Chains A and B, each alone.
Chain A
Amino acid sequence: MGGLQKKKYERGSATNYITRNKARKKLQLSLPDFRRLCILKGIYPHEPKHKKKVNKGSTAPRTFYLLKDIRFLLHEPIVGKFREYKVFVRKLKKAYGKTEWSSVERLKENKPAYKLDHIIKERYPSFIDALRDIDDALCMCFLFSTFARTGKCHVQTIQLCRRLTVEWMNYVIASRALKKVQLHTHPTDVDYRVMATFTEFYTTLLGFINFRLYHSLNLLYPPKLDVKAESELKEENDDDYAMNSESYLEKLSALSASLARVVSTAEEDEAELDQFPVDGEDMANMEAREKEQKQEEAQKKLFEGLKFFLNREVPRESLAFLIRCFGGEVSWDKSVCIGSTYEVKDETITHQIVDRPNIDKQYINRYYIQPQWVYDCVNAKIILPVEDYFLGVTLPPHLSPFVEEKDGDYVPPEKLKIMALQRGEKPAHEQEDEEEEEEEDEEEEEEEEEDDNEEEGDDGEEAEEKNLKKMEEQRSQVKVTAGKVKVENPARLEQEEKAEEKRLAIMMMKKKEKYLYDKIMFGKKRKVREANKLAAKRKAHDDAEKSKKKARK
């Protein structure tokens, strides 16, 4: 056999991966710089299929990057900027050490800066791709916008985050794109540099997305308040101070005024799309889609015509955002925040949102409700009855809109109730329910009693038989007893047969498939068990409540 001997680990997957340290050396970057680059460029380690092969026979734990990714990083212009920055820092330190203030100033003026536009375009070649990653970006920006301004990151970053989030919320209001909400709770050694790098990237991304979104709605991008609203605000505040950027942002973040459009159109007549029914099959689909669209439209106008007033103890931004998203009008106390549009005394207010057990001065022609009502209405897509949400009332549970129950899952009864309401069924009065239940209970009790009687009867018969047997045994040792005719249920037999067939077939499964099958079946069983458990718990809870009620009566 001729030819050179093939060496190990010089072909195949071993050459496709590179360890992190090697990658770092190849790029000639320090670890923090490498980390920053990876974050900005969205490069992440890959888990090779055969780790030992890639690791050249070693089993040491290492992180691997794709070699192609690293090669791709080699040509990134930002790497050069990183190096420039490093040099800049060194020069600056030197200048400080020598107390050459003029050169310090000059260096600071020439501080290298980089732009991330091209990276965003490269990572998200289309707008849809960018939208896919927006959840993390939003979370991060919202987090940073809550940071204290004396903290560990730059004030500019915090301000930028705040601006972007406010812009985003304004967009959502303008487009009425909100669908679901949930309030949730769950209760640090954190490397802020990592988070800051992510934020740097996300702010740029969010800025571009906001720009595009605003333009898709014909809104001015650095968002401007509507001319009318602006003039009103100006009149109010003319004496106080000029409209500088900070206060303008605050006004925007008040979320109470609509935004200015590029082309001011008061009422956009949405041309109804012509519909082309294609096939008989598609007709059903079309109808379903149409219905869905109508529902969405209805949901968008959920709070239209309602006028809300927020008490000072409720979370203003969240509620104002929601109510405005669904077309309602909202205001709050003047001292809470800038941008309130009407006072408490306004007679046209329909709902006042209060989060305290009782309130002193109540107006007659409005509902006083707890904030959860707004959230639940949005999730249910209908105006829920306000009775359950009055002041001091124990609230019904707040359910997550993101849980989609499949068959067999446990569905909380509250959800069933809401679903019934959505279908347009009138909720039966609870009292009636209770009465019915009581009746049922009584019936059950009666049945049980009957059962008891029967059992007693059975017992009596059995006793008689035993006596007879004893007597017979006494009479003669050998006996012939009449055989019992086994009644065979053909359907049941068939079922059993089938079950056995299945069992036998399962015995013949291959090891791999058997394992998978067992796993699937285990998961299914566990689900059923959990659903049962929840249902049982719920029942126990309800029973306890009922008994409490009875005791009170």
Chain B
Amino acid sequence: MEESSSSSTRSAAQTHKIKEKEPQKGGKKRTKAEEEEEEELFNFKSKSTEEEEEDEDLSDSEDSIFSGLEDSGSDEDDDDEELSDDGDEEGLDDGELKLEQTQQIGIETKKETEETGETEETEGGRTEKAKQEDEYVHDSSDEEDIRNTVGNVPMEWYRDFPHIGYNLDGKKIYKPIRNKDELDDFLDKMDNPDYWRTVPDKQTGSDVVLSDEQVQLVNRLQRGQFGDANFNEYEPQVEFFSRDVMLHPVTNRPADKRSFIPSLIEKEKVSKLVHAIKMGWIKPRRVEDDSRGRYYDLWANEDSSILARHKMHLPAPKIPLPGHQESYNPPTGVPRALWEQQDPCDRKLPFVPRKFSSLRQVPAFSRFIHERFERCLDLYLCPRQRKMRVNVNPEDLIPKLPKPKDLQPFPTTQSLVYRGHSGLVRSISVSPSGQWLASGSDDGSVRFWEVCSSRCLKTVQVGGAVKSVAWNPNPSVCLLAVALDSVVLILSPSLADRQVVLSSERLLSAPQEADANEGAGPVTWSETEGEELNHGIRLKIQHPKAVQQVSWHAKGDYVASVMPDHSSNLQVLIHQLSRRRSQNPFRKNKGLVQCVSFHPVRPYFFVGTQRSVRIYNLVKQEMTKKLQANSKWISQHGDHVICGSYDCRLSWFDLDLSTKPYKMLRHHKKAVRGVAYHRLYPLFASASDDGTVIVCHGTVYNDLLQNPLIVPVKVLRGHEITHDLGVLDVTFHPTQPWVFSSGADATIRLFT
């Protein structure tokens, strides 16, 4: 609106200017009259006068265009103030006010044409009277110049005066005589057809009748239109400042000085940015890298250089592929109840195979995310280790041994059973001739059997559970040592030819010399009488404690007895039959003695304790070796010792080699109760609580470089397990490859 209105005023002013120029160019006295202007323009504001000057200087500039408008505006201002004052006092309504205002403007615009002329006229009037008259000639209006010169003061100040102001000559302008009362006014309103266009002039106080043009102008302005009816407000806009580079400048204005001088503020800003870039605080805008996510042939030139890392690389194992069980329609289902009972770690499958009758009933795989996540964890978190998978044929693991057939003879079948005992048979012993077998049992009897016929020739009631029996290994005597409770009995079963019986009688009865210093010893020797003598019991050796085992020396004169006891050093006693003397060979207690044994050929004495086997040299009277094995039963043959123990093991020692067992055999499932070596054949046997006797072949080669060969050749079964006890003792026939075993089932068996 503003622009359009200004443009309208401009156009109006332009037309007015053109009119204005004619008189200027017509009369060139203007320049002369310039000096007096200041005095003359008392009616106007100083600003308007300046503009007036400019108007004359730059006829083309915009300022000049507005000049006429300005002074009319100043007039308007005056009027406005007047009007507002009027409104306050008289209580006129807005409509009327507007009307008045517009009328005022209308009047002004009407006058405008004359205005400049008038000013010229006044100037002229003051300077040259003749010229003033000339101008009046040209003036078309016949009205008097009654210009009021009161200035910009409220007109009500003159309400009580007869005049309304002063004219240019300083004469009072009198108010027109108004004798109209309200009735007249009303009549006028009724009669006068121009009443509606009659407007009182405040300055002069007279009524003015508006012309048709003026009324039209007022109407247009009321509608908000331009005053000039011919003005087209929708003219096409002329763009002066377009993007096109023009040949000539739009304005002729010279460039500012500041446009030549670099700006200080800008310089500061730029230097700050430069510094920031230098310091790396601001980075240049990244070039959009679209190579990311773009694929190319990565392996175009495959170099086969394998880094060291790739050698160390352990690829993760693959997830196993789904089997039949994972199928949505598996061949067989698994009951869910069973699966739920199992522990999560025991389950073979982490899910229950389910059967769906059709594919559309299969739900989404809810654990998919979880499964993948676990796989991810496995891949980056799980420590990896290279594990060699053993892929062997189990048959290859079995050692290649010589066939037992080639290692004959050895006992293979059970041929005889010796029945007669009523309690478990703890111990058996074969006579050196191989004809007789003695056995001691818990039923308190010692029985003598003929080996070949399995007949019991003799039964001796000894009155106590027999712990151990041992036949004298000397073939020239026929004696048997029996251990029961705390007594060792020497029996003469008289089961040999006369010579032998006699020689044994001689051995028992000959010396009596040691009697004198016997009292001090812990052992008492006594000869039996009466019934016991009739049974063949010849000597009774009373011990202070319970005797566990007896063992003969190879020559048959010495017998050793064992009394296991933690607390005392009196555990082993060696008795000499010919001199009826007993002695304690050890001064110190070195563990609980389990059993003792004499070497069949050499002067060695073996003492088996719970931890070790000590070997004493009887000639030098010193310990030669200590074998590391817990032992219960010792048997030796030449250079080799075997030990059976209650922890199911059988250890085989070579005395020439280390103190550690050369071979440990774990054949038995239960405690080993007895072991035995054959005197002639390379055989040894072990008896165990699991009811078996295992016969092994143990060859030692003369060539030292060849390892000894130990081959189990036969597992002999026959004994029944009673009260968790199986075979209690085992012994070989002195000449034949036969083995005797006694068991808890009160039988003795012969395997040939």
Give the interface of A toward B (CB within 8 A): 35, 38-39, 43-49, 63-64, 66, 68-69, 72, 106, 109-110, 113, 115, 117, 120-122, 124-127, 130, 132, 135-136, 139-140, 143, 160, 182-188, 190-191, 194-195, 198, 207-208, 210-212, 215, 221, 313-315, 355-356, 370-372, 394-400, 402-403, 412, 414, 500-509, 511, 513, 516-517, 520-521, 524, 534, 537-538, 541
Interchain CB contact under 8 A, A139 and B385: no
A313 to B359, CA, bound (A): 10
Interchain CB contact under 8 A, B394 and A110: no
A-B contact list, 28 entries, CB within 8 Å:
A35-B380, A44-B384, A46-B383, A47-B385, A66-B312, A127-B302, A136-B379, A140-B372, A143-B368, A185-B363, A186-B350, A186-B365, A194-B376, A195-B372, A208-B296, A211-B295, A355-B359, A355-B360, A370-B358, A397-B329, A400-B326, A402-B321, A412-B332, A504-B711, A509-B399, A513-B397, A524-B394, A538-B331
Q: Write the chain B residue with the least CB distance to A66.
A: B312
Chain A residues closer than 8 Å to B397, beta-carbon distance: 509, 513, 516-517
Chain A residues closer than 8 Å to B398, beta-carbon distance: 502, 505-506, 509, 517
Check: B345 CB closer than 8 A to any chain A CB. Answer: no
| Interchain nearest-CB distance for A144 vs B (Å) | 9
A431 to B719, CA, bound (A): 60
Interchain CB contact under 8 A, A185 and B354: yes
Interface flags for B427-455 (1: CB within 8 Å of A; 0: not) read 00000000000000000000000000000
Given A127-B299, A132-B315, A183-B328, CB of A46 within 8 Å of CB of B384: yes
* Contact partner, A355, options B358, B365, B394, Cβ 8 Å: B358
Interchain CB contact under 8 A, A400 and B323: yes
Given A125-B306, A508-B401, A508-B712, CB of A44 within 8 Å of CB of B360: no
Interchain CB contact under 8 A, A185 and B326: yes
For the complex with contacts A46-B383, A72-B309, A394-B357, 16 further pairs of A-B residues with Cβ separation under 8 Å are A43-B380, A45-B381, A47-B385, A120-B298, A125-B305, A127-B302, A185-B356, A194-B376, A195-B376, A198-B379, A208-B295, A208-B299, A370-B359, A505-B398, A537-B332, A538-B332
One of B14-22, B209-217, B282-290 at the interface: B282-290
Interchain CB contact under 8 A, A187 and B367: yes
Check: B713 CB closer than 8 A to any chain A CB. Answer: yes
A378 to B2, CA, bound (A): 85
Interchain CB contact under 8 A, A64 and B299: no
Chain B residues closer than 8 Å to A502, beta-carbon distance: 398
State the 9 A-B residue pairs at the shortest beta-carbon distance, nearest first: A402-B321, A47-B385, A184-B326, A186-B351, A47-B383, A45-B383, A211-B295, A398-B329, A397-B331
Q: Write the chain B residue with the least CB distance to A48.
A: B385
Chain B residues closer than 8 Å to A398, beta-carbon distance: 327-330
Interchain CB contact under 8 A, B309 and A212: no
Interchain CB contact under 8 A, A534 and B332: yes
Given A45-B383, A185-B354, A516-B392, CB of A207 within 8 Å of CB of B295: yes
Given A39-B380, A45-B384, A136-B379, CB of A403 within 8 Å of CB of B324: yes
Q: How many residues of B contact A (CB 8 A)?
A: 86
Chain A residues closer than 8 Å to B375, beta-carbon distance: 136, 139
A66 to B311, CA, bound (A): 13
Interchain CB contact under 8 A, B299 and A190: no
* Contact partner, B309, options A48, A68, A356, Cβ 8 Å: A68
Chain B residues closer than 8 Å to A68, beta-carbon distance: 308-309, 312
Chain B residues closer than 8 Å to A355, beta-carbon distance: 358-360
Check: B715 CB closer than 8 A to any chain A CB. Answer: yes
Q: Write the chain B residue with the least CB distance to A183.
A: B328
| Interchain nearest-CB distance for B362 vs A (Å) | 5
A508 to B715, CA, bound (A): 13
Interface flags for B133-177 (1: CB within 8 Å of A; 0: not) read 000000000000000000000000000000000000000000000
Check: B366 CB closer than 8 A to any chain A CB. Answer: yes
Q: Write the chain B residue with the least CB distance to A129.
A: B310
Chain A residues closer than 8 Å to B310, beta-carbon distance: 125
Interchain CB contact under 8 A, B373 and A194: yes
Check: B304 CB closer than 8 A to any chain A CB. Answer: yes
Interchain CB contact under 8 A, B383 and A63: yes
Q: Write the chain B residue with the least CB distance to A211.
A: B295
| Interchain nearest-CB distance for B633 vs A (Å) | 20
Q: For window 191-234 of chain B, which residues contact chain A by CB distance below 8 Å? A: none
Given A125-B306, A185-B356, CB of A399 within 8 Å of CB of B331: yes
A121 to B296, CA, bound (A): 12
Chain A residues closer than 8 Å to B318, beta-carbon distance: 135
Interface centre among A45, A48, A187, A501 (most CB of B within 10 A): A187
Chain A residues closer than 8 Å to B400, beta-carbon distance: 505
Chain A residues closer than 8 Å to B297, beta-carbon distance: 211-212, 215
| Interchain nearest-CB distance for A372 vs B (Å) | 6
A398 to B332, CA, bound (A): 11
| Interchain nearest-CB distance for A115 vs B (Å) | 6
A63 to B382, CA, bound (A): 9
* Contact partner, B323, options A125, A136, A372, A402, Cβ 8 Å: A402
* Contact partner, A190, options B286, B315, B370, B382, Cβ 8 Å: B370
Q: Write the chain A residue with the least CB distance to B288.
A: A109
Chain A residues closer than 8 Å to B379, beta-carbon distance: 39, 44, 136, 198
| Interchain nearest-CB distance for A397 vs B (Å) | 4
Interchain CB contact under 8 A, A69 and B309: yes
A132 to B316, CA, bound (A): 11
| Interchain nearest-CB distance for A264 vs B (Å) | 21
A191 to B380, CA, bound (A): 13
Interface centre among B312, B329, B666 (most CB of A within 10 A): B329
Interface centre among A121, A143, A400, A524 (most CB of B within 10 A): A400
* Contact partner, B370, options A188, A399, A400, A500, Cβ 8 Å: A188
Interface centre among B305, B379, B715 (most CB of A within 10 A): B379
| Interchain nearest-CB distance for B451 vs A (Å) | 24
Interchain CB contact under 8 A, A125 and B303: yes
Check: B23 CB closer than 8 A to any chain A CB. Answer: no
A48 to B289, CA, bound (A): 43
* Contact partner, A109, options B286, B368, B394, Cβ 8 Å: B286
Interchain CB contact under 8 A, A126 and B304: yes
Interchain CB contact under 8 A, A395 and B357: yes
A63 to B326, CA, bound (A): 34
Interchain CB contact under 8 A, A47 and B384: yes
Chain B residues closer than 8 Å to A49, beta-carbon distance: 385
Given A125-B306, A183-B359, A195-B376, CB of A115 within 8 Å of CB of B367: no
Given A395-B358, A507-B667, A513-B397, CB of A126 within 8 Å of CB of B324: no
Interface centre among B356, B359, B384, B711 (most CB of A within 10 A): B359
| Interchain nearest-CB distance for A278 vs B (Å) | 27
Chain A residues closer than 8 Å to B337, beta-carbon distance: none
Q: Write the chain B residue with the least CB distance to A205.
A: B298
* Contact partner, A126, options B302, B321, B401, Cβ 8 Å: B302
Q: Write the chain B residue with the least CB distance to A146.
A: B368
Interface centre among A414, A501, A504, A511 (most CB of B within 10 A): A504
* Contact partner, B322, options A127, A184, A412, A511, Cβ 8 Å: A184
| Interchain nearest-CB distance for B431 vs A (Å) | 32
Interchain CB contact under 8 A, B298 and A121: yes
Given A211-B295, A400-B323, A508-B711, CB of A187 within 8 Å of CB of B360: no
Check: B404 CB closer than 8 A to any chain A CB. Answer: yes
A494 to B358, CA, bound (A): 57
Interchain CB contact under 8 A, B299 and A402: no
A171 to B309, CA, bound (A): 32
Interchain CB contact under 8 A, B711 and A414: no
Interchain CB contact under 8 A, B383 and A44: yes
Q: Write the chain A residue with the least CB distance to B324.
A: A400
Chain B residues closer than 8 Å to A399, beta-carbon distance: 324, 327, 331
Chain A residues closer than 8 Å to B283, beta-carbon distance: 110
Chain B residues closer than 8 Å to A38, beta-carbon distance: 380
Check: B620 CB closer than 8 A to any chain A CB. Answer: no
A310 to B665, CA, bound (A): 72
Interchain CB contact under 8 A, B322 and A402: yes
Q: Write the chain A residue with the least CB distance to B394.
A: A520
Chain B residues closer than 8 Å to A516, beta-carbon distance: 390, 392, 397
